[in-house]
Amino acid sequence: MMSFVRCKPAFLAFAGLFAVYSVFWYLNNPRLLVLLTIAISLIIILALGSVFASEKDCLKNEWVFLALLISFLIIFCLIFPPFTAPDEGHHYFSTYWLVDSLPFNAHVTKDGAFLVRDIDYALYNSRQPGDAINSASFDSAIDGFSLFGNGQLIPFSEFSFSVGSENVTAKLGSIIGLQIGLFFGLGAYPAFYMGRIGSALFFCFCAFQAYRIAPKGKSVIVFVSLLPMTLHLAASYSYDSGIIAYSLLLFACLMRGYFGEQRSIGNREIIIYLIISVLLAPCKVIYSGLILLGLFVPLSQFLDEKTGRFSKFLLIFCVVVSVLALRLASMSSLVSQPSDSSRGHEAGQLYSLGDILLHPKNSFLVLCRTFDSLGDFYWETTLGYSLGWLQENLRFPAFYMIPYLFFGFICCLDSSDEPSFLAAPVSFLFIFAFLLAALGSIASMWLAWTFNYENVIQGVQGRYFLPALPALLFGLRTRLFRFNSSSISVVTLGVCAMNCLYLIRFISVASCL
């Protein structure tokens, strides 16, 4: 209760702001959907306030984190109409193809086509032009919702997929969810949302386990897990959901390795880390640097130093084998692509590796122009200022992202509940792993999405940096500034409050377009 008394002016100020803010956005678009979003946001804020008033340390409880994560993920699952997340049409049918490929389904034909229900195909064809989010897309979801549907199976071949290109291990949640929806004969909308919910629950399980495992860095896990962009991806068919989930588990295991008790890493911990590494490495090779941070865990942390040395060699072997087994074909095609390629409806000659290496001056200029032109876009889209399919009229003002930056900054500070720091060389390695992932994603889009006459690299989005963000935040931790409060509690409270404000504005604008 004392914590509430001390913070009473701040709570009263926020209550006034929330009331004015909610009234404005409801008057901007007086729909029941907006009112419902305001009511749900108010419930979340009141629940957070009551927990904080009773004892602010309660916000550090793992079950509070789980409840908040589930609440926001379910909201993000339902608040976005079908096929409005990044590349969701592709990822939806990729998941459908994987479900059809299961032995007890066997709905994939010899010519590469696979069978889908006609009602699911009709749902895909009924999406808004450009996969836009607007009032019509919300009305269609409400009017077309039917719990059960008797669809006929029809062949589908608009997309082609392969195991090596679809990051199967990162789509386990959506595969299970969609399979359940199809098994019970749900209608097109419920079956679609079952896949989203499966993805969200899988992410939720991984993030919750990461929070439980990590002895330090919990504020980083909370911050990254509850960012709008993370929630948007986790509550969609995107394989980014699984990749971010695995990266959080990996980060938690690293925290346990560096900050756990001495001689606390046994065979069980080693096996868990190897499994996570094998699941993550083939998804995106650029994140392998995060995995290899495990090589620098001190041998004094292992129950047996000989086992520790062997496990590090085994880690390198597992990463190399898993990447070669599943990603070699796609990596080689990236390097040796044909000169004439297409990008959406555009055709032209993409940059090749030779273009980049043989013309260093031009490559340097292209890279610098890219950071100058798109640097702000990268950090803003990492946080979530542009959800949906990069829809211009749904982009948030940049000042909405400043509080998220502030809470991210708190994660980098010495605090009363997380006074833990890596040794300087290891901190550098954590930051370097982030830079490797960021530059790797930029290089991949340079080769795969940028025509050789363009002077700015195209296609890079901030969401590609999210799996490596925990390593950056913890690598930047400094003793130069101290946060004299609980960083976990403040980050949890602040990010959730901002998310509520975010959702109200988003639904008010999106549902009146």
Per-residue pLDDT tens digits for 223-261: 999 999 999 999 999 999 999 999 999 999 999 999 998
Answer yes or no: are the C-beta atoms of 449 and 368 closer than 8 Å.
Answer: no
Using a 10 angstrom Cβ sphere, with 0-12 exposed, 13-18 middle and 19 or more buried, the burial of residue 303 is: middle
Answer yes or no: are the C-beta atoms of 172 and 280 closer than 8 Å.
Answer: no
Q: Could you tell me which residues come within 8 angstroms of residue 477 by beta carbon, excluding any fewer than 6 positions away? A: 411, 412, 413, 414, 420, 421, 422, 427
Does residue 358 have a pLDDT over 80?
yes
Q: How many domains in the chain? A: 2
pLDDT reported for residue 391: 84
Q: Could you tell me which residues come within 8 angstroms of residue 23 by beta carbon, excluding any fewer than 6 positions away? A: none
Question: Would you place residue 498 in the very low, low, confident or very high pLDDT band (cuts 50, 70, 90)?
Answer: very high
Q: Could you tell me which residues come within 8 angstroms of residue 332 by beta carbon, excluding any fewer than 6 positions away? A: none
Residues 438 and 489 in one domain: no
Percentage of residues in the chain having pLDDT higher than 90: 73
Residues 23 and 85 in one domain: no
Residue whose entry in the numeric block shows the structure tokens 């980050």: 491
* DSSP three-state, residue 104: coil
Residues 37 and 122 in one domain: no
Residue whose entry in the numeric block shows the structure tokens 């370097």: 432
Residues 83 and 222 in one domain: yes
Question: Would you place residue 330 in the very low, low, confident or very high pLDDT band (cuts 50, 70, 90)?
Answer: low
Using a 10 angstrom Cβ sphere, with 0-12 exposed, 13-18 middle and 19 or more buried, the burial of residue 449 is: middle
The mean pLDDT of 80-91, rounded to a whole number, is 93
For residue 316, give the H/E element and its range.
helix 305-335
For residues 51, 57, 58, 60, the Cα torsion angle rounded to the nearest 10 degrees is 120
Does residue 214 have a pLDDT over 80?
yes
Pick from 34-43, 139-148, 365-374, 464-473: least confident: 139-148
As a whole number of angstroms, the distance between CA 205 and CA 306 comes to 33
Mean of pLDDT over the chain: 91
pLDDT reported for residue 335: 55
Residues 54 and 142 in one domain: no
The mean pLDDT of 32-40, rounded to a whole number, is 95
The mean pLDDT of 367-375, rounded to a whole number, is 96
Can you say how many angstroms the Cα of residue 97 is from the centroid of all Cα atoms in its chain? 22
Most confident region among 5-9, 140-144, 187-191 by mean pLDDT: 187-191
Quote the Cα angle for 56-203-96, to 5°.
155
Using a 10 angstrom Cβ sphere, with 0-12 exposed, 13-18 middle and 19 or more buried, the burial of residue 397 is: exposed
Residues 79 and 216 in one domain: yes
Q: 346 vs 271, 343, 350, 358, 418, CA distance in Å?
A: 46, 5, 11, 26, 50
For residues 300, 303, 307, 311, the Cα torsion angle rounded to the nearest 10 degrees is -70
pLDDT reported for residue 6: 60
The residue range of the domain holding 27 is: 1-60+479-513
Quote the Cα angle for 286-288-289, to 5°.
95
Residues 298 and 402 in one domain: yes
* DSSP three-state, residue 144: coil
Residues 102 and 161 in one domain: yes
Q: Would you give the DSSP letter of residue 208?
A: H
Using a 10 angstrom Cβ sphere, with 0-12 exposed, 13-18 middle and 19 or more buried, the burial of residue 108 is: middle
Question: Would you place residue 104 in the very low, low, confident or very high pLDDT band (cuts 50, 70, 90)?
Answer: confident
Amino acid of residue 315: L
The residue count of the chain comes to 513
Residues 6 and 114 in one domain: no
Question: Would you place residue 455 in the very low, low, confident or very high pLDDT band (cuts 50, 70, 90)?
Answer: very high
Backbone dihedral region for residue 257 (phi beyond 0: left; psi -120 to 50: alpha; all else: beta): alpha
* DSSP three-state, residue 384: coil
Does residue 103 have a pLDDT over 90?
no
Tokens of 320: 């190399």
For residue 479, give the H/E element and its range.
strand 478-483
pLDDT reported for residue 3: 53
pLDDT reported for residue 445: 95
pLDDT reported for residue 129: 82
Question: Would you place residue 360 in the very low, low, confident or very high pLDDT band (cuts 50, 70, 90)?
Answer: very high
As a whole number of angstroms, the distance between CA 81 and CA 143 comes to 12
12 compared with 406, residue with greater pLDDT: 406
Answer yes or no: are the C-beta atoms of 177 and 99 closer than 8 Å.
Answer: no
pLDDT reported for residue 92: 96
Percentage of residues in the chain having pLDDT higher than 70: 95
pLDDT reported for residue 29: 93
pLDDT reported for residue 329: 53
Q: Which has the closest alpha carbon to 210: 197, 220, 198? A: 220
For residue 56, give the H/E element and its range.
none
pLDDT reported for residue 451: 94
Q: Would you give the DSSP letter of residue 263?
A: T
Answer yes or no: are the C-beta atoms of 194 and 204 closer than 8 Å.
Answer: no
Does residue 338 have a pLDDT over 60?
no
Rounded to two decimals, the pTM is 0.94
Does residue 183 have a pLDDT over 80?
yes
Beta bridge partners of 414: 482
Q: Would you give the DSSP letter of residue 348?
A: E
As a whole number of angstroms, the distance between CA 304 and CA 300 comes to 8
Residues 35 and 135 in one domain: no
Does residue 2 have a pLDDT over 60?
no
Does residue 161 have a pLDDT over 70?
yes
pLDDT reported for residue 485: 86
Handedness of CA 4, 8, 14, 15 (dihedral sign): positive
Using a 10 angstrom Cβ sphere, with 0-12 exposed, 13-18 middle and 19 or more buried, the burial of residue 9 is: exposed
Residues 452 and 497 in one domain: no
Pick from 290-294, 485-489, 499-503: least confident: 485-489
Q: 483 vs 415, 476, 493, CA distance in Å?
A: 5, 15, 15
Answer yes or no: are the C-beta atoms of 80 and 128 closer than 8 Å.
Answer: no
Residues 45 and 90 in one domain: no
Does residue 130 have a pLDDT over 80?
no
Q: What phi and psi values does residue 434 have, to the nearest 5 degrees?
A: -65, -45
